[in-house]
Amino acid sequence: MPAKRRRSSAAQPSQYTVIKVRLHPSQEQTELLEKTFGCCRYLWNQMLADVQEFYAATDIHYIPTPARYKRSAPFLAEVDSQALCAVHQNLRKAFLDFFRAPNTFGYPQFKTKKAQKDSFTVYCRPYRTGPSIVLTADGIRMPKLGQIPATLHRKPSEDWQLRSVTVSKTRSGKYFGAIVFQRPTAVPVPIVPTQERTLGLNHAFRHFYVDSNGMCAEAPQWLEASRKKLARMQQKLSRMQRGSKNYAEQAQKIRLMHEQIANQRRDFIHKESRRIANAWDAVCVRDTDLIKLSQTAKGVNVMDSGFGMFRECLRYKLAQQGKQYIVVGRYAPTAKTCHACGAVYEGLSDRDRQWACPHCGAQLCREVNAAQNIRDWGLQQYYQQNSETGAFSAV
């Protein structure tokens, strides 16, 4: 019996949760953080160069360990060794991803100081004196850095285990810490969707999305106001002399405005996806290639809307509740198919917002009709796949 209990507790499912906090390091801690960023970047470039040189000479893929570089670069000993070990693991994972899917991930590239942000990861190790990373009431205690004050907006539960901390610095000079926790979780009971409890979402240029009920979601007014303010600030920057003090101050204001817009967009996406995930049992979306769409669309910034992030937030929030996230193929003629009779109208142009079906005469709205087809085809696809696997055999 004791052995069975140990196996059942070990097999208990768990998942990872990330809490991102704002760090407020002191002057000494800031200097050590900058040294750690530089050492991690230096080590990545050195290991990648040695991998390429060793492979060209022996035709064997080999990644050296960080300990090999400490003799020629003694400054690496000033930072935490766990951060250097994480660089080795990240480079190894980057090569594994490249060998597995080269068209998706690409070959690892050298890092530069002009990157969008600097970061390093430190894993929590158990020692006799306690774990190497401790989350306190007003900050985080990390190796060699000591107690770093932090703004904690959310406290973890007692059964959560701290696994790692990723410290990053934005272009505006702010420091953040992404704390990864492993927590036990219960497997949700899958919910079988119905047409009444299923929502279809269609990506639209004029709106954030249009659902199968005819409702349109618009970006908040304050987000659009921030974008207009950013445009005015960029116009003001273009009239200044590059390299002057006023130019540097205005560039810093633009960086802060970019962060504010990103935070506003992320806040809207999380709240909207949470509202939909709680209200519906299943959501059907189309697998639209946003990158290709942004290259062909004129006068519309497709990537700035954040619809790709919105789909990903919907996916994991529905999965946490046992609900279904159904994806319809990107080449499905959702807009040209009449929802009333099922006929395909090939003569529909991209500019037509309202159209009449030539077969049944139904008056259709382009976005709403596409969303309804996405919902119906997604449900049909879901039931067909589950009937083939025997998931509905007991129903």
The tokens for 191 are 């919910």
The mean pLDDT value of the chain amounts to 88
Read off the pLDDT of each residue in 237-252 and give the average, rounded to a whole number: 93
pLDDT of 393 above 60: no
- DSSP assignment of 189-204 equals PP----STTEEEEE--
Please report where in the chains the tokens 């006929």 appear, as a residue: 343
Partners of residue 217 on adjacent β-strands:
209
What are 260-315's pLDDT values in tens digits? Answer: 999 999 999 999 999 999 999 999 999 888 888 877 777 667 777 888 999 999 99
Whole-number pLDDT of residue 148 = 95
The tokens for 117 are 């942000």
What's the Cα-to-Cα distance from 113 to each of 40, 48, 122, 140, rounded to whole Å?
11, 16, 21, 26
What are 70-86's pLDDT values in tens digits? Answer: 989 999 999 999 999 99
What's the Cα-to-Cα distance from 13 to each of 61, 87, 183, 324, rounded to whole Å?
35, 28, 9, 20
Q: How many residues would you count in the chain?
A: 395
Which has the higher per-residue pLDDT, 358 or 167?
A: 167
What are 214-244's pLDDT values in tens digits? Answer: 898 887 888 888 989 999 999 999 999 998 9
Q: ∠232-296-201 over CA atoms, to 5°?
A: 85
Closest to 374 measured CA to CA, from 268, 282, 305, 269? 282
**CB burial string 45-65: b at 16+ within 10 A, e below:** ebbbeebeeeeeeeeeeeeee
pLDDT of 392 above 60: no
